[in-house]
Amino acid sequence: MFELRSALAFAELPPHDPAWQALSKLEQRHIELLADIDGSRAAFSEVDNDLHMLVNSASRNRFVERFHALSSLIFHYHYQWIKDDEKQHRVVAIQEHLAYIAALRSRDRDAIRTVVLAHLQTARLSLFASIERGELRLARVSQRR
């Protein structure tokens, strides 16, 4: 819910706020990553973090920003070790981020709410699947010993 509130606050920023220019640069980075999806493995975590950090900065709340830093660490830690369907996860996330950026630009609160909640649900399911696959691998390793 922090991110949804932050996204709605972001949409309220005045048109001349530097955050909009930063958002445009992040959009371009996403487009470049999608065009080079096979070579974008390391860059994805950075651009993902930068987008969510930018959005959360609109909250002007240090707790939200620190919570984001912690959740990003946990989320990307699991992706670092679990490589199943990694390319497909990046493609989906980048496409969702581009929709997220478009919704922010529209300043349409309902569109923002829909896109943010869908993206957070995808991230949640990906994280849980990653944890589950990791636990299964650990169980297999333990059985071999």
Integer Cα distance of 98 and 86 in angstroms: 18
> For position 75, what pLDDT does the model report?
56
> For position 133, what pLDDT does the model report?
66
> For position 79, what pLDDT does the model report?
52
The predicted-structure confidence for 109-140, as pLDDT tens digits, reads as follows 999 999 999 998 988 887 777 677 655 454 55
> For position 22, what pLDDT does the model report?
98
The predicted-structure confidence for 57-75, as pLDDT tens digits, reads as follows 888 666 555 655 556 555 5
Supply the CATH classification number for the domain 2-144: 1.20.120.530
* Selected residue with higher pLDDT from 19 and 125: 19
Q: Are 46 and 26 in contact (CB under 8 A)?
A: no
Query: In terms of C-beta distances under 8 Å and separation of at least 24 residues, what long-range contacts does 36-43 make, across chains too?
Result: 37/87, 37/90, 37/91, 37/94, 38/87, 40/90, 41/86, 41/90
Phi, psi of 59 (to 5 degrees): -70, -25
The predicted-structure confidence for 87-111, as pLDDT tens digits, reads as follows 888 899 999 999 999 999 999 999 9
> For position 71, what pLDDT does the model report?
61
Question: How far from 19 is each of 10, 105, 106, CA to CA, in Å?
Answer: 8, 11, 15
Integer Cα distance of 119 and 33 in angstroms: 18
42 residue type, one letter: A
DSSP one-letter string for 88-108: HHHHHHHHHHHHHHHHHHHT-
> For position 127, what pLDDT does the model report?
72
The predicted-structure confidence for 28-49, as pLDDT tens digits, reads as follows 999 999 998 887 667 888 898 8
